[in-house]
A and B are shown apart, each in its own frame.
Chain A
Amino acid sequence: MSEIIVQLKGVSKYYDDTPALTDVDLYIRKNEFVTLLGPSGCGKTTMLRLIGGFEKPDSGTITFKGEDISNVPSHKRRVNTVFQRYALFSHLNVFENIAFGLRIKKMKEPVIQEKVAHMLKLVNLEGYEKRDVNSLSGGQQQRVAIARALVNEPEVLLLDEPLAALDLKLRKEMQHELKNMQRQLGITFLYVTHDQEEALSMSDTVVVMKEGEIQQIGTPEKIYNEPINAFVADFIGESNIVDGIMRQDYLVEFAGNTFDCADAGFDQDEPVDVVIRPEDLTLMPPDRAKIRGQVRSVNFLGVHWEMIVDGSDGTSWLVHSTLMEPVGTTIGLGLEPMDIHIMKKVRA
């Protein structure tokens, strides 16, 4: 494992008494692609701004390569930021936007020329030097913003929802490009998004946040397959979350029936959240199934069908399947023990 480059210890931040971050601990390793993921207002942007130096923590410390930078102003930190909606300087052309940081550092003109040219090549904007930034498309403006940050050779690049303003197709392309750039340059990326798909496809590590607290830190696979609680499960992909009771180790009761499961270590009869991914529910004849219900709606989503099934006990189930049953049919739903995720109740 490579060295830790940025570390937050017990960091809290309040805006007029409302907590934006409460007692957060996080470390980021060199060359890692870390994504902060969560709904709006979860504190992910605040965390980025603390690391960028635009805000100061109310308590806790932020260290950069072991050195406390909590009170170092933004312009003295070795990190750079790609802002939401780019924040390009519209009074400067493409070249001067990218050269801005180098000029502030009073670099020699030939060096500036060379570095900017290199960046333009990296972001595929050769020949755009003299263009007015306002005349560029969203995607091109995005590339300028990235180049403007990267040309300063930051040790960590902070990206605040950089692709949010782009359309779907362009967003997918830019995701690939960003990931490639990160691999090529070997720079640490700290990426903020509310788009779980984006987070899963790009990151080495995903940090799921909610209401100013970190919920789970892990690889995309781990976060998806083993969500730590119902919030994470629900936020990462669609899920069925139903109330259950843990009867004993490896045996859970929900939807009016008991099921074998893979979890243990709960109190006897402890109320739990049972999380089941819609693609893990399989269609089967009703007489052989533990869960029975009537198909309420059917939607074709391209690769699979999405069905909502009203269970006989009143629970409704979201089912993804390559098979389809028409509305009104009574069907059964099957489940493997491995696909039943048991979670502690977050709140009673």
Chain B
Amino acid sequence: MSTSSVSEWITRQREQRTLQDWIQDLGPFVMLFGLIVVFTLTTDQFMSEGNLLDNIAKNAVTLLLVALAGTFPILQQSIDLSVESIVLLTGVVTVVAIAELGLGLLAIPIAIAVGMLAGLFNGLVFTKLKIPSFLVTLGTLSVMAGVGKIITGGSTITFRNNAIRAISNGEVFGIPNLVLWGLLIYIGTIILAFRTKFGRYCFALGESERVVELAGAEVDRYKIYPFVLSGLLCGIAGVLLTLRISSASPNIGSGLLLPSIAAIVMGGTALTGGVGGPHRTILGVLVIAVLNNGMNLLAVGSFVQEIILGLVVVAAVALSIDRDKIDVVK
């Protein structure tokens, strides 16, 4: 190709965005918008401020944090299945530290540290013992839930401390603190993903560990970090969740794992790693939150809701997945 045709070639490359590319990028937006239109037309309450903020936004925050937590391990082509157990464990630790140990605000850093340690444990077993992360975290999913439940003694523990509760329950200019925390952390994860070496290596490792290794990076270290971050974010989720309801039951957090993975994938982060990112995960979270809320408003039975949610997830993934990048569908 002569030099004169290079610019033509470049133009051609730029034009090569197909319908498929647009669907991949816009699919979650379209789905979210579609759901909003449908529920606005079919229900009276959907568009009310109370419903949007108190029901959808507040409920979505826990799922958002857990989904953001899960995004990073998936970006680097591993997975953290223990997220909901870390929420349980750290939630229980928060309440026990406040109610039984009287530690007050100190409970928060302690609980978050417990979350990070749990994540560090996952990461160390994964990298040092070279066990696939889905097996490691499948194990710790059970272990950490067990530990948390033992601490509760099998019953719900509660605390009374309105000052601490306000961290989660208060509001600023009419916006619930919970929602603000969620947004703050959301922005934080985007910065981590796109402005730090950590984020860059997540994407790179998601595509090829070997290439990253030969480029001289300390691969093991960067493979552990996403799990520690996951523990940290789940810890924050555990804290905010228990502060909001000022109690911790032996089954808080349960049922978060599947919707969180669904949200991540729907947002556009492929389970095969390397593409997507936390900025997109929020779309999947909102789709699930709106869908849940709308179906509740329409008084759809909870069993039927499960079926619909599952179908929506499959449909969203089918629309958005880039099959060119997957050698074998497993």
The answer to whether A and B assemble together is no
- On A, residues with C-beta under 8 Å from B are none
